[in-house]
Every structure is written in C-alpha cells, then in structure tokens.
C-alpha cells in the first residue's frame, strides 16, 4: 500500500501503538526545551516549518485563526503569509494576538515583488518614491503583527544597461531601504528566483545575493534562500547555504520537480534540515509549495511528509 494512502487508515491504530520513543510516522520524543509541546499529534517539530493560510483548509476551514490553531495542534511553530500586507488592519492584529497566544513565529511577508518591471536596477527618484511608500506600508504592517522580516524581489534586469551598473544601482537602492527600515527594526530579505519559472529577473543566485548583501553591509538587508528555486538554478544547496550563511535570514521550501512537499522530488530535505539544525538555525522555513494529494487526506499526508524529514538524529 502506498505510504500516502496508508496515512488515514493507520492513524488510530498507530496512536494506540505509541511506544516510549514516540515513534509514530517518525515523530520524535518531545523536546522539553520547546515550549508548548503536547506529545503525539501536537509533537513540536525540531525546526520552524511554516505553513501558509490555506494549507489545511480542508481540515481547518477558511478562518485564519482556526488554521493557526490546527497548525499548532499538529506541531508547527510558525506560519507565513505572503499577502499579509493586503489583509485589513483589524485582521492583522487578530492574527498577531493568536500567534502570541500559540507561541508561533511569523515568517517574511511580501513587501515588493513586481516581476514585470525594471525597478531596483534603475537609479532615479521614482524608484526611491516607490520604495519609500512600500516600506512605510510594510512598517505599519510590522507594527500591527510583530513581523520581523519583509520580502523584496529587485525586479527585472535591464537589456539597455551594463550588468555592473545595474548591480551598483541595486546596492545603492538597498542601502536606501536599509536606512528606512532600521529605525523600525524590520529586516528586508532578498529572494533569488529561478529563470525558468520567472525569466528576466535580476536576482537569480545565492552567491549573487550574498555579494550584494555584503556590499550593502547592513543587518537589515539579508537573504531568503528558496531551496526550490536554487535547486533549479544552481543546485549545490548545502555548500551554497554554508558559504552565504551569515547573510541568510530565512528559507522557502518546495521540492523539485513539482514544487510540492518534501519527499515528492529530488531534494534530500532530511539532510538539509539536519544540517541547518546543527548550525543552530532558529528562523522560519516557509512552506511555499502545493500539496501532492488533494482533500483532507492529502493535507494529513503533507504533515506526515514533514514528520519524515524532521526525523533526523543529531
């Protein structure tokens, strides 16, 4: 019987067979240093894998607070919401309170990501005005939600300008952003994206993002390492994250091919998660992917996949 079809038929029986080691679907014993651990169904994951609102809508419904409770009950210690800035302020505050009550972290929200235009590669006042407006909106969102990170994509590259000039403009524009964000304590994370899904974008690789962050030289401009995009663009995932480690603030997850949950593609997530856990990483890993199976059972099967890759020994 296939593992994913096996899940829903064996949950009850496996729960009765729970041993002293807590080994159900690879669930490890509760770590006493992780607050809020509940054992079995609520066993807290070693790392802060972060579903998005809607990941578990078949089991938890559409209400974001019910979704947060479902995530927490099943061991997740974080959530991410790319569309957080677009939510009404009252709902943002409600989400923030629920996160605080559940002792959950909030991953980066999207501050600016326009894939259609040249933006940060340019040097003009219009770009500064746009960035100022976006950052001020992002700071207000962060105040309401206690968010620490905001994501930015530098936009398209220019075919009419030498590449080095574009890079210098991106660095200057990011220094401008850092000056605006520093008083609020909000950190910008830059996301390199693969050229197959998103052709024409300026930022595509981790070494490129690393060199830009080093040039900006600010603790308020860092990298989000999207492992799905980087597996397509360059591979070499662990050496690249090691080399860029000082500038990485967050991760995005998704297996390749298919951009679904871990265990569905070619990326060895268990080894990667073990590696960054041993490095002491305590940030958020945003589950920016779809489900390989639909419906309630598909959502439970996604949780099982994360139990499998979180079951590493250290």
- The string of pLDDT tens digits covering residues 197-236 is 999 999 999 999 999 999 999 999 999 999 999 999 999 9
Element (H, E) at 50: strand 48-50
pLDDT at position 11 is 39
Question: Do 105 and 284 touch, CB atoms closer than 8 A?
Answer: yes
Query: What's the pLDDT tens digit per position in 12-52?
Result: 333 333 333 333 223 223 333 443 333 346 699 999 999 99
- How many angstroms separate the CA atoms of 208 and 121, rounded? 14
The DSSP bridge partners found for residue 150 are 109, 188
pLDDT at position 75 is 98
- How many angstroms separate the CA atoms of 190 and 314, rounded? 30
Query: What's the pLDDT tens digit per position in 43-91?
Result: 999 999 999 999 999 999 999 999 999 999 999 999 999 999 999 999 9
The whole-model pTM stands at 0.86
- How many angstroms separate the CA atoms of 214 and 210, rounded? 6
- Is residue 222 classed as helix, strand or coil in its secondary structure? strand
pLDDT at position 142 is 98
User: What domains lie within the chain, and their CATH numbers?
Assistant: 44-310 (3.20.20.150)
DSSP 148: -
Query: What's the pLDDT tens digit per position in 185-206?
Result: 999 999 999 999 999 999 999 9
Mean pLDDT of 247-268: 98
Which residues are CB-contacts of 155 (< 8 A; sequence separation ≥ 6)?
Answer: 114, 115, 117, 118, 119, 120, 121, 201, 202
CB atoms within 10 A of CB 215: 16
- CA 293, 297, 302, 304 dihedral sign is negative
pLDDT at position 178 is 98
Element (H, E) at 102: helix 89-102
What's the gap between Cα 268 and its chain centre?
Answer: 17
Strands 248-252 vs 149-152: parallel, antiparallel or unpaired: unpaired
pLDDT at position 41 is 62
Closest among 146, 224, 139 to 178, alpha carbons compared: 139
pLDDT at position 28 is 29
- How many angstroms separate the CA atoms of 123 and 95, rounded? 37
Query: What's the pLDDT tens digit per position in 132-162?
Result: 999 999 999 999 999 999 999 999 999 999 9
- How many angstroms separate the CA atoms of 202 and 193, rounded? 9
- How many angstroms separate the CA atoms of 127 and 169, rounded? 11
Element (H, E) at 248: strand 248-252
- CA 214, 217, 218, 221 dihedral sign is negative
pLDDT at position 109 is 98
Lowest mean pLDDT, pick from 1-15, 102-116, 130-144: 1-15
pLDDT, averaged across the chain: 90
Tokens 């080095």 — which residue?
A: 164
Mean pLDDT of 264-274: 98
Q: Determine if the peptide bond prior to 257 is cis (ω within 30°).
A: yes
């Amino acid at each position: 019987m296939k593992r994913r079809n096996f899940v829903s038929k064996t949950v009850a029986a496996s729960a009765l067979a729970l041993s002293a080691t807590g080994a159900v679907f690879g669930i490890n014993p509760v770590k006493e240093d992780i607050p809020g651990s509940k054992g079995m169904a609520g066993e807290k994951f070693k790392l802060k894998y972060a579903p998005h609102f809607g990941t578990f809508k078949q089991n938890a419904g559409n209400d974001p607070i019910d979704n947060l409770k479902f995530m927490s009950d099943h061991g997740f210690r974080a959530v991410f919401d790319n569309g957080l800035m677009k939510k009404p302020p009252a709902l943002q505050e409600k989400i923030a309170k629920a996160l605080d009550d559940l002792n959950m972290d909030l991953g980066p929200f999207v501050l600016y990501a326009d894939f259609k235009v040249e933006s940060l590669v340019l040097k003009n006042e219009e770009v500064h005005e746009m960035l100022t407006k976006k950052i001020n909106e992002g700071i207000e969102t962060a105040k309401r939600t206690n968010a620490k990170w905001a994501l930015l994509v530098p936009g398209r590259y220019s075919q009419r300008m030498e590449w080095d000039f574009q890079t210098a403009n991106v660095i200057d524009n990011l220094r401008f952003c850092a000056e605006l964000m520093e008083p609020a304590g909000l950190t910008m994370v830059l996301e390199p994206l693969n050229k197959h899904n998103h052709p024409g974008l300026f930022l595509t690789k981790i070494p490129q993002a690393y060199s830009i962050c080093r040039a900006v030289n600010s603790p308020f401009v860092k990298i989000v390492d999207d492992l799905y995009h980087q597996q397509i663009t360059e591979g070499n995932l662990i050496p690249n994250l090691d080399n860029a480690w000082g500038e990485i603030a967050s991760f995005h997850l998704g297996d390749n091919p298919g951009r679904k949950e871990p265990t569905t593609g070619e990326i060895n997530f268990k080894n990667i998660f073990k590696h960054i856990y041993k490095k002491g990483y305590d940030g958020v890993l945003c589950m920016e992917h779809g489900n390989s199976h639909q419906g309630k059972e598909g959502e439970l099967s996604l949780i099982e996949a994360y139990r499998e890759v979180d079951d590493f020994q250290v």
